[in-house]
Structure 1
Amino acid sequence: MTEQPRHSGRRLLVLAGLLVVCYAVAGIGGWASADAGDVYGSLNRPTWAPPGWLFGPVWTVLYGTIAVAAWIVLRSPGSAPRVAMAWWSAQLALNLAWTPLFFAAGEYGLAFADICLLLAAVVVTIVHFSRTSRGAAVLLVPYALWVAFASALNLSIWLVNT
């Protein structure tokens, strides 16, 4: 009987750790490009570009789902999530690189290359997660769709502002 609560406590610690990692990526990206709102506002953007205020709430939700999806994979019984989590880590690193490339460095072409790699890594992560948990894979679909949209926006901004 005492095994279950301790095991549940460990699971919650793992979830908390994954949330910290994901929101740290967001925080580091924000810190590395503190004037992102001003930069975004100064760019020539397509008419379909969302307002700058929308990015914060969307990414807040997405980072939470990225963490929960990884948590589901890690706690799935009998799973061997090593490869899936390697892809999860790779996509998170590419995610981390994009914000400073785009906003701080103004390297829209490099940022586009990064976000294309990010999208590919997210898709591969979804495929690997689906082998362990369909639910975890489904949690990453909105993230993939948002990154695909952001890729098109990045390309459009790059082409119009260079």
Structure 2
Amino acid sequence: MNKTLIFFIFILASVAIGALSGLSNQPGEWYQSLNKPFFNPPNWVFGPVWTVLYGMIGGALAATWYDENNRRRLQIFAIQAVLNLAWSPAFFGLQNPKLGLVIIVPLLISILLFIAASWRPNRWAAWLFVPYAFWVGFATLLNLAIVLLN
């Protein structure tokens, strides 16, 4: 297969997995009943933001996939992917913001590690993770605020 098709498949798969995770772990009435900080965005913001981010995550994976000596970065990528997919079921599914916080902090660290590890060998893959790092940093603050307010 050619490289463009592989990139498309990785991006599509990433967006599809993210969408399935989101649809499987809807916030619901429980989340609506929580005390939230003043900086909590409206619920409609999350879907479009995560769709774009999952596309960028898939692009970063595709770009890294073709690099030489990519094993360490692929391992870091896999760790962040597992943590990313674990957060919604922990926070929303189990209705446990504290467990969500325990997951999201190492998620943020793994994202930052991927950026650092990718910076020299594949700056494009690193840059694709920068908005993801900012969003998860914001989500970490939001998660912490929810824990403290409830």
Fold shared per TM-score above 0.5:
yes
Matched residue, 1:42:
33
Q: CA deviation at 1:37?
A: 4.6
Q: Distance in 2 between matches of 1:72 and 1:145?
A: 20
1:23 equivalenced with 2:15 (yes/no): yes
Matched residue, 1:122:
111
Matched residue, 1:113:
102
Give the partner amino acid of 1:117: P
1:11 equivalenced with 2:9 (yes/no): no
Matched residue, 1:33:
25
Matched residue, 1:148:
137
Cα RMSD, aligned residues only: 1.6
1:75 equivalenced with 2:73 (yes/no): no
- SS of the residue corresponding to residue 131 of structure 1 reads coil
Contact 1:44 1:160 in 2 (8 A): yes
Give the partner amino acid of 1:56: G
1:90 equivalenced with 2:79 (yes/no): yes
Contact 1:116 1:151 in 2 (8 A): yes
Residue among 94, 102, 106 paired with 2:91: 102
- SS of the residue corresponding to residue 119 of structure 2 reads helix
Q: Distance in 1 between matches of 2:45 and 2:4?
A: 30
Residue among 51, 59, 67 paired with 2:50: 59
Sort the Cα spacing of 1:39 and 1:58 in 2 relative to 1 into closer, same or farther, 3 A.
Answer: farther
The 4+ residue runs of structure 1 with deviation greater than 3 A are: 37-40
Long gaps (5+) in structure 2 = none
Give the partner amino acid of 1:145: F
Higher Cα radius of gyration = 1
Q: Distance in 1 between matches of 2:109 and 2:55?
A: 20
Give % identity.
Answer: 39
Aligned length: 150
Contact 2:19 2:51 in 1 (8 A): no
